[in-house]
Amino acid sequence: MCGIFGYYNLSSFTNRYSAMEEMSVLLQHRGPDGNGFHCNERVGLGNVRLAILDPGNGEQPFNSDDGKVSVVQNGEIFNFRELRQELEKLNHSFFTDNDTEIILKAYLEWGIDFVPKLNGMFAIAICDERSNKFYLIRDRIGEKPLYYYQDNDLFLFASEIKALLPYIEKRVNVQALNDFLTLNYIPAPLTGFLGVFHVMPGTVMELGASPKTWRWWDLRNQKVDSSITEKEWIEEFNSLLHDATRLRLVSDVPFGAFLSGGVDSSSVVGTMSRIMDKPVRTYSIGFPDPRFDESRYAQEAARLFSTEHTNETVDYNIIGEWPKYIYFCDQPHGDVSFMPMRRVSELAARDVKMVLTGDGADELFAGYEKYAVFFEGETKAIGCSLKFYEKYSSTLRLFGLKTLDSIWKACYKDRVDFQRVDKEIQEYIMETEHYDNINKALLIDMQYLLAGNNLVKPDRMAMSHSLETRAPFLDYRMMEFAFRTPGEFKLKNGDKKYLFKKAVTPLIGQSLAYRKKQMFTVPIGEWFKTSLRSFCREILLSSESRVLEYFNKEVIELLVNDHLSQKRNNTREIRSLISLEYWLKEFF
C-alpha cells in the first residue's frame, strides 16, 4: 500500500524536482516507510511507501534494465507469486519479493495486455519511453484511488487530490456539488475541483501521440447461470471466500481484521481463523446508545473465534473528527460512518499495518434493508432497464429534483444539469437487459455507491493512519461469481443475503448469520436534536457559513428546523450540508 504521484509531458512545469518532493510530503500518511521518484523534463513518477511486502526492498519506481520503462503502484497484487512463477518460466529474473517488480516484468513480457492477469487492488502508472506512451491503470472496482488534472500541456496525477492542488487554480465544480447533493457523494469521474478527474474503475488511460481510455473489465459482461443449484452455489462461494482470504493474508508485517459482529466481517474473521495458526487480532468501535451499538456482537464473534479483540466506545465528541475526515477525503462525503472508521483504524494501527474487512458483500449479495423494501410486491417484474432505473432511482437520491431546484441560488442554476447523474446511470444500466432486476440494482450500487463512497471510506480513513485494508469479497473472482448468480439466490421473500447466510452459518453460527443488520454509523441524527442542537445552527446558518454562498438560507433553515422539532427526519440532508461546509472551509 502506497501513494503515487507525478506528471507527464510538461514543457511549462519548471520546478519539477521540488514539486515531486512536495507531493510526496502531502501523501506521506499513505507511505511513511520511504519515498522515491524518477523525473526529467518529460515525465515524473513518484511513490511514498507503506511497506507490507518485502519491507527491506521494494523501493519505487521500479525501472527496466535499460531505464526505458518505469513503474509505480499503490495497492497490492495478491497473486504476485503465481505470476512470478509464470514469468520465471519465461526467463525473467527477480531481485525482490515485491509485487511491484512483478508489474514491471509482466509489462515487459506482455505489454499493456498484462493488466487482466492481476488479482488485486491497484492504481498503477507506467512510463514507456521506448514507445513514448504513458499509462494510468485503475483496479476493477476502484479500491485504490487515482486522480488527474489536465489543462493544455499540464498533466498531473496522484493518489489523492491534495497532492495536485498546489499546482492548479482551485475552482469549485458546481456541477459536482449538485451531484453530491443528489447522491451524498460525488460520483467519478467528476470531483469537487474543476479540472480534476478520477480515473474510472476498470479502465486504462493511455497518453502519447494518440491519447485514449478504455475499459479493461466490466461487471456487465457476466452471464447469469440459471442452472446452478443451491448446493453447488454454496460450495463455490465457500471455496472462493477461502481462497480470496488466503491470498490476502500474504504479508511480511503484523495484520488483523475489523470485526463489527455482522455477517460479513464475522465470515472473514472466521475464515482467517481457519487458515491461520495463531489468533486473529480484531478491532471494533461501539456507541453508548444500544440502538447503534454492535460491540456485543463483535465480542460474540471474537469469543467464537478466540481472537485478540480490542474495542473502544465513542460518544458525540467524535464529531471532532469531521473536519479531519473531510481533509483526508479531499471531497465532501455525507456518510458520517467515516468518523468511526477513522477511529477504529487508529485503534488497529497501534498494533498492525494491515487489516482485512468485509467490504463489498452487501452490494454483491443484497445485504441492505432497502433491497428488501424495494423488491416487495411486483418490483422484480418491471420491464426494461430504463423503466427499472426510473423506479429504483428513488432509493439512490439524497435531495429530490424539487428540493435541488429550490436550494440553489438563482445565479448558479444555469451552471447545473439537475439530471446529469440520472442520465449517466441510465446510460450505464441500459446494457444490462440480460440481468434480473435484483442484479440490476446491485450493479448500480457496485458501480456508484460502492466505488463512489463505500470504498473511499476504508481507503482514506485507514490510510490517514498508515493502515492498509484488504477486502476478500472484492476478489474479482467473487465479484464475477456474484453476478453470475440469479437474483433470487441473493434476495428471497424479503430474506437478504439468502444463500450467503446459508453458506456461512456452519462457520459463524446461526446467531451471527441471521441477526438483524445494523448500519455502521454514528447516531448523529439523535445528537442533532440534543447535544448538538446549537452546533447545527451555528455551522450552517451563521454569517460565517460558506454553504450560504451557493444555497438559499431559508431552505436550509427549514431543513434544520423540521429536524430539530422532530417534524421530519432530515439527518442525511443536514449531515451532507455540514460535510460540504467543512470541505469549502478546508480547501477554499
pLDDT, tens digit (0-9, with 9 covering 90-100), for 512-563: 999 887 656 677 888 899 888 899 999 999 999 999 999 999 999 999 999 9
Return the pLDDT at 177: 98
Strand partners for 223: none
| Full strand arrangement of the beta sheet holding 62-63 | 62-63, 69-77, 120-128, 133-138, 203-207, 212-215
Of 125-139, 384-398, 508-522, which range is least confident? Answer: 508-522
Question: What pLDDT, on the 0 to 100 scale, is given for residue 1?
Answer: 64
- CA dist 169 and 154 (Å) reads 12
What is the grid cell recorded at 231? 448446493
**Do β-strands 120-128 and 147-151 pair in parallel, antiparallel, or remain unpaired?**
unpaired
Q: What is the pLDDT of residues 313-345, one digit of tens each?
A: 887 788 888 999 999 999 999 999 999 999 999
Which grid coordinates are listed for 46?
513518484
Q: In what order do the strands lie in the sheet with 154-158?
A: 35-39, 43-49, 2-8, 154-158, 147-151, 196-198
Q: Are strands 133-138 and 308-313 parallel, antiparallel or unpaired?
A: unpaired
Domain 2-217 is found in CATH 3.60.20.10: yes
Fold of 221-366+445-513: Rossmann fold (3.40.50)
Which of 2, 127, 329, 536 is an active site residue? 2
d(CA 147, CA 28) in angstroms, rounded, equals: 17
pLDDT, tens digit (0-9, with 9 covering 90-100), for 186-239? 999 999 999 999 999 999 999 987 889 999 999 999 999 999 999 999 999 999
- Residue limits of CATH 3.40.50.620 in the chain: 221-366+445-513
d(CA 535, CA 581): 13
Q: Which residue has the cell 490476502?
A: 248
- Mean pLDDT, to the nearest integer, of 129-156? 93
Rounded to 10°, the helix 99-110/80-89 angle is 40
Mean confidence (pLDDT) of the chain: 94
Task: Give the separation between CA 78 and CA 313, rounded to whole angstroms.
Answer: 34
- CATH 3.60.20.10 in the chain: give the residue spans: 2-217
Please state, in angstroms and as integers, the Cα–Cα distance from residue 266 to each residue in 117, 301, 409, 503, following that order.
30, 6, 47, 13
Q: For this structure, is 384 an active site residue?
A: no
- Tell the burial category of 581 from Cβ atoms under 10 Å away from its Cβ (0-12, 13-18, 19+): buried
Q: What are phi and psi of 198, to 5 degrees?
A: -95, 130
Average pLDDT, integer, range 420-445: 94
pLDDT bracket for residue 398 (50, 70, 90): very high
